[in-house]
Amino acid sequence: MTAFGGNIMKYPFILLDIDGTLINFDKTFSNAFASTLEFGGCMANEINIKQYHKCNDEAWYESGLDNVEDSSVCRIYHPGYRKYLLNTSRKAKERMNLSKTPEDLTSHFIQAMGRFSVLNSNVLEVCRQLSQNHTLCIASNGLTDLQMGKLKSLASYISHYFISENMN
């Protein structure tokens, strides 16, 4: 099998990342934003999606989670990430007068990331081919419920999941 740039046959396991590798993160995020806006009673037009992005960007900046190499960030990353998502929902509810609670908006957003995930081009075919001779594994630093939802369409090809929220 040289179609993937060399002799890959010698590797029994292949570790794959999710966001940006298998999943088009930007499109998936925007789809989840649009779904969450509609769930909250707001039209998912370009202006409102931009406003939701602004709420998200502010919440991310305030979270302090951007330096995952910092050991203090690593210790609080997963609860901090959930807090950041909730803060995004609080900001969006307040600024956009959304009808649902921030908790309900956050829960919907996490589920929408899975329901509306967008695979990068050729991912299904690459995973299908690779899984014939290799054990495919996922390695991710994300939240378990958020990441697993995005992988449903690839479940038949993936043997093992190493998601940091579940790891000690």
Look at residue 106 and tell me whether its pLDDT is greater than 60: yes
Express each pLDDT in 85-96 by its tens digit: 999 999 999 999
- The span from the CA of 106 to the CA of 124, in Å, is 29
HEC profile for the chain?
CCCCCCCHHHCCEEEECCECCCECHHHHHHHHHHHHHHHCCCCCCHHHHHHHHHHHHHHHHHHCCCCCCCHHHHHHHHHHHHHHHHHHHHHHHHHHCCCCCHHHHHHHHHHHHHHCCCECCCHHHHHHHHHCCCEEEEEECCCHHHHHHHCHHHCCCEEEEEEHHHCC
Express each pLDDT in 10-30 by its tens digit: 889 999 999 999 999 999 999
Look at residue 8 and tell me whether its pLDDT is greater than 60: no
Q: Give the pTM.
A: 0.86
pLDDT at 9: 64
